[in-house]
A and B are shown apart, each in its own frame.
Chain A
């Protein structure tokens, strides 16, 4: 396997659509959760979300292009452009046949589906947009990014619910590692704050109903949690061979050193009660990185703020790390961003890279009432100075699909 480093990052999130704003808000424990404004939620039990307010896709694409694609693709393209620019690739001579794209999405263009279904019902099939199919398919973020940047390397997507973008980055790592590309634009994009998604998640009783205190609603590992808060956004990283990055003098955020995947083989939505899937994917990430449990300083948890996830993820960490589970730090980015579903993993990988680069661990906010079954160091409420050399980033999705990335701080 060739060494693969991260040389560019881009984020569109409820706590910031610029890497510096994003990081400052995470370190200061600022919540991005508020009342839903983009559509009428009065009939829903949950009326809060992590929305990106006043998002203007024309900052990264022509108005005519923006009209043709779903919001998830707009978000993916905007983060990709940030990452591309951040990596300093705008003016570098590249063989673009060696540059690929792998951007995941849990759901794809659900807002387009919803809008066109309404047109079908009201006006009939002759009024359904010819752009509906290309707009809603989950690989269109990958497709559109390649069109805009002229990238003819591998182009694909991953659709594994809330693990989509962790799988996307891990799979892109493999693609470069085995020599099928020199650079990959990888991550995830999601825009599922809409009637259809809200009603489905509400019926599944998955969403927090702490509507009177939106900023306090996402409270991973806290005893008073009552479900996750849905968020939208995107996270994109530029993965590049170490040699290529070094040769062009690129800034290196960190190195992907391991990747683990597993299946729960248990239930459509509930995690395995013993956390076997979570355990296995963390164990496999360590194994592929050649790391011992004692070397891990930090875990960016899946940490959704649901009772199932938080208890079982904690159980799996304790089973794998044993005594060291109490020495390492664990925190949840979702306590501030909400749950970005298919974009969550990439955004959290970026948070982890910034944690390593700054030597400061962002907190898990809204941690007020300890849960006896969740007794690890979750870095409650306040950021902490803490050098991190090796970290894991976890993502688990419906269908019992699990992914963990192992990341190493870069030292020149």
Chain B
């Protein structure tokens, strides 16, 4: 599975949104994710991709595409 599909799957699962509603341009604001949701999402991503995401890096993540590009640059 591509990184993009994996990321979308995790977001859909964590935030209970339909995976078909997620595009690379979807922002976390669009899907009503608050700061606690994003922390929890980051934990799930760290587990899945076996990496560590710093709090500073989290601040730069605004869209689904940001997550995908970040992960692709790390793995």
Report A's interface with B, CB cutoff 8 A.
62-64, 67, 126-127, 129-131, 134
What would 4 more interface pairs be, CB under 8 Å, given A62-B16, A126-B43, A131-B36?
A127-B43, A129-B40, A130-B36, A134-B36
Q: How many residues from B make CB contacts under 8 Å with A? A: 8
Interface status of B15 (Cβ within 8 A of chain A) = yes
Interface status of B3 (Cβ within 8 A of chain A) = no
| A134–B40 alpha-carbon span in the complex (Å) | 14
Inter-chain contact B40/A130, CB cutoff 8 Å: yes
Inter-chain contact B40/A64, CB cutoff 8 Å: no
- Nearest CB of A to B37, in Å: 8
Inter-chain contact B16/A64, CB cutoff 8 Å: yes
Q: Determine the chain B residues whose CB is within 8 A of the CB of A129 once the complex forms.
A: 40, 43
Given contacts A126-B43, A127-B43, contact A64 B36 (CB under 8 A): no
| A245–B5 alpha-carbon span in the complex (Å) | 55
Inter-chain contact A63/B36, CB cutoff 8 Å: no
Which residues 24-55 of B have a CB within 8 angstroms of A? Answer: 36, 39-40, 43, 46-47
- Nearest CB of A to B34, in Å: 10
Q: From B15, B16, B40, give the contact of A131 (CB < 8 A).
A: B40
Q: Determine the chain A residues whose CB is within 8 A of the CB of B40 once the complex forms.
A: 129-131
| A64–B36 alpha-carbon span in the complex (Å) | 13
Inter-chain contact A130/B39, CB cutoff 8 Å: yes
| A63–B16 alpha-carbon span in the complex (Å) | 7
Q: Which residue of B lies closest to A134 (CB)?
A: B36
| A126–B45 alpha-carbon span in the complex (Å) | 12
Q: Which residue of A lies closest to B52 (CB)?
A: A126
- Nearest CB of B to A65, in Å: 9
